[in-house]
Amino acid sequence: MSDKKEPRIGVYVCHCGGNISGAVQCELVAKALKGLPNVTVTRTDESMCSDAGQSLIEQDIKELGIDRVVIGACAPMLHEQTFRGAVTRAGLNPFLYHHVGLREQDSWVHEHNKDAATEKALRLMSAGIAKARLLEPLDPIRLGAEKHALVIGGGVAGLRAALDIARQGLRVTLLEKSPFLGGRMAQLESVFPTEEDARKLLQDLIQKVVAHPNVTIFTQAEVTGVSGYVGNFEIQVQQHSRGVSDDNADTLMSACRQEVPNPFNYGLTKRKVIYRPYEGCYPSTPAVDWESYNGEPISFDGKQIILKDEPKSFGLNVGAVVVATGFDPYTPSQGEYGFGELPQVVTLPQLIRHLALSKDGKSLQWNGRAVRDVALIHCVGSRQVDGVHQPQEDGQVNNYCSRVCCTASLHATLELHKRYPQLNIYDLHQDIRTYGHGHEEYYRHALESGVRFVRYNGEEVPEVSAAPQGDSHPVLLKVKDMLTYGEELEIPVDLVVLAVGFMPRDLHGLDKMLKISRGNDRFLLEVHPKLRPVETAVNGVILAGTAQGPMNIQESLSAASAAAAKVASLLGRGKVELPPFVAAVDEEKCDGTGACVEACQYEDAIALQEFEENGRKVRRAVITPANCSGCGACVAVCPNNAINVQGWTLEQYEAMVDAIGMDMHELEVAA
């Protein structure tokens, strides 16, 4: 006869502030469930997740000897950790608790049929009770963790994340693919809404990062391989050489004759293939643009020198990875709003650099001609419409809002008006989204400065064409103005500025190496935008800044600090705890068929190993818990039922199915 103690189950049904009780008769459910075997107590509460609700559960565990807990409430994603904490505080193993999502699975989808919602709640809760009878205590997976983080990307988000992590006492290695730190922020002259010097702010941040003893920086470096798991990632890195040294850099740069379009100025100027992007850049040593260098020798000290890239490879062992790879501005397709066909059509980033390069002059000049009338067109490369806009290479249109462009456009119009007050400025938009603190002021100032606003429909975009020969302006804009009830306007201008949106960056396989996903907008995807805003589905891989979507500088800094806080919480103790819901092998049943290994989609999660047993060699499946996701693919294919997912065993599933399909007359439901 088994000495196993009969479970004592506590069942709790949450009203969820009316979200559940508005459709489910919670008191009726609790009363009916009390009659099920092993159920010791049932209760309802207006808000089980509140301090009072949690105290109720803790009190029952301590005073009534409850050793299994079933809670019907909102989604497990929201409060599973909350209730695990309550159960743990009462002295019970946190995995002897099961959560039933009554709100999302029941009340919200059956709000107009209370009887059916109540019956469904009874079945779902009965299934939870059936599983709870079979729950066993589990221990979290505990792993040693390297107190060392990798930050990929040396823009403002990567720099802030590296600094914040280092200040928590953790070692940081920062990798930047380009030869210089700073990213896109280095191409700006000022930042909104404070109007501070962008490059000065950036240089201050860079100096703090460089000076911190916990930070090691590698430029011209990129990840080539990733293995391992949270707490113990093995990273392979390749770093290209700068091609010049401090001793000969300036002389070689002077002697170099090969010039290429300067990407720092978005192709408006040229630079040499040995270059510094801007004054005060870090590192200060020039570097060779290996992608552009044509291999021609450079005359130096009476010798002909051919520059050579001699890359080196090395490995890193880190506990967590922060991906701060940034964004690229959208490049309009050939002919889009006349771009690439009319020299008077430029992008907003190009205008910003042009203004930076044109410090003097009483009038705005473009291609040697004075500009009297300029038009800015919003949402170029953002908020695109199927059938109206040309899709990207993957066949999708950019239907997302890039969020920053409206304020950036207004910021530019005020700069134009301040420097060239005689300019006539037209602002063509679908609507104005100046959502940040202080951003609306730019809109107000633009109105007061005489900027003419024209609102177009996103499905009828403005037409940009060359003006008839002999016209006073080189470009003609045609647009229907929704502010004047669809009146068709023709606007002659000297310059058209396209406010381009943000595009996700080509990561050259880094996302595949890290096994992280992209969202529908093709930016890197977080687990949950509010509950886990910087975490990916891969434990230990964290997102920072515009790698996960359009953000302004302030938002990028905040996201980077959030990423750093997550890394510090993961690695600060030198160990990592993971949920125990991973595959487990019953060695007595396993005969090493290998079907589980073939079905597993997770690298190094399961493997066949040889053991000696009673003098003979046998093969058994062995799980590496840190790499296992608990997906259950191995369970489904094992011919011997030798594998189960801990906390979600086949026996537990069968019990739940039986309970869901029970005869409702088994429950004595009072009217």
Q: In what order do the strands lie in the sheet with 320-323?
A: 215-219, 171-176, 148-152, 320-323, 541-543
Tokens 């962008």 belong to 198
Alpha helices in 20-152 (DSSP H): 26-33, 51-64, 76-89, 102, 114-133
List the domain boundaries for the chain: 9-140, 148-240+312-326+505-575, 249-280+288-305, 330-503, 583-645
Mean pLDDT of 4-24: 94
Computed on alpha carbons and rounded to an integer, the radius of gyration of the chain in Å comes to 31
Beta strand 616-623 pairing with 606-613: antiparallel
Residues 6+ apart with CB under 8 A from 11: 30, 33, 34, 39, 41, 42, 43, 70, 71, 72, 125, 129
What pLDDT is attached to residue 301? 79
Task: Report the relative pairing of strands 495-500 and 373-380 from DSSP bridges.
Answer: parallel
> What per-residue confidence (pLDDT) applies to 362?
84
What gap in Å lies between CA 393 and CA 529, rounded to an integer? 27
Structure tokens at 225: 């391989």
Check pLDDT > 80 for residue 361: no
Instruction: Work out the average pLDDT over 115-119.
Output: 95
Q: Please say whether the beta carbons of 223 and 512 come within 8 A.
A: no
Is the pLDDT reported for residue 1 higher than 50?
no
Per the prediction, the chain carries an average pLDDT of 94
The pLDDT assigned to 22 comes to 95
User: What pLDDT score does 669 carry?
Assistant: 47
* Beta-strand relationship, 643-645 and 583-585: antiparallel
pLDDT tens for 613-644 read 888 889 999 999 988 989 999 999 999 999 99
Beta carbons of 571 and 146 less than 8 angstroms apart: yes
Q: Residue 559, SS3?
A: helix
Please list the residues that pair with 260 across neighbouring strands: 271
Looking at residue 626, its pLDDT comes to 86
pLDDT digits (tens, 9 = 90+) for 183-224: 999 999 999 999 999 999 999 999 999 999 999 999 999 999
Model pLDDT for residues 232-252, shown as the tens digit of each residue: 999 999 999 999 998 889 999
Task: Give the model's confidence band at 670: pLDDT under 50 very low, under 70 low, under 90 confident, else very high.
Answer: very low
**Where would I find the H helices in 529-577?**
553-571
The set of long-range contacts for 398-402, using a CB threshold of 8 Å and a minimum separation of 24, is 398/330, 398/501, 398/503, 398/521, 399/521, 400/501, 400/521, 400/549, 400/550, 401/433, 401/501, 401/550, 402/330, 402/501, 402/502, 402/550
Taking only the tens place, the pLDDT of each residue in 558-600 is: 999 999 999 999 999 999 888 999 999 999 999 999 999 999 9
Per CATH, domain 148-240+312-326+505-575 is 3.50.50.60: yes
CATH topology of domain 330-503: FAD/NAD(P)-binding domain (3.50.50)
Supply angle C-alpha 254, 260, 262, rounded to 5: 95
% residues pLDDT > 70 (the chain): 99
Q: What is the mean pLDDT of residues 25-29?
A: 96
Q: Hey, which CATH number is domain 9-140, 3.40.1000, 1.10.10, 3.40.50, 1.10.287?
A: 3.40.50
Q: How far from each other are the two terminal CA atoms of the chain, in whole angstroms?
A: 40
Q: What angle do CA 473, 479, 484 make, to 5 degrees?
A: 120
Backbone angles phi, psi at 76, to 5 degrees: -55, -35
Structure tokens at 384: 């695109």
Q: What is the pLDDT of residue 3?
A: 60
148-240+312-326+505-575 shares the fold of 9-140: no
The CATH fold of domain 583-645: Alpha-Beta Plaits (3.30.70)
pLDDT of residue 216: 98
Report whether the peptide linkage leading into residue 283 is cis, meaning its omega lies within 30 degrees of zero: yes
pLDDT in tens, 344-360: 999 999 999 999 999 77
3-state secondary structure 418-450: HHCCCCEEEEEECCCCCCCCCCHHHHHHHHHCC
Q: Which SS3 state, helix, strand or coil, does residue 80 take?
A: helix
Contact in structure between 249 and 205 (CB atoms under 8 Å):
no
664 has pLDDT over 80: no
With H, G, I as helix, E, B as strand and everything else as coil, classify residue 553: helix
Instruction: Tell me the one-letter amino acid at 326.
Output: G
Q: Calculate the dihedral angle through the C-alpha atoms of 27, 28, 31, 36, rounding to the nearest 10 degrees.
A: -130
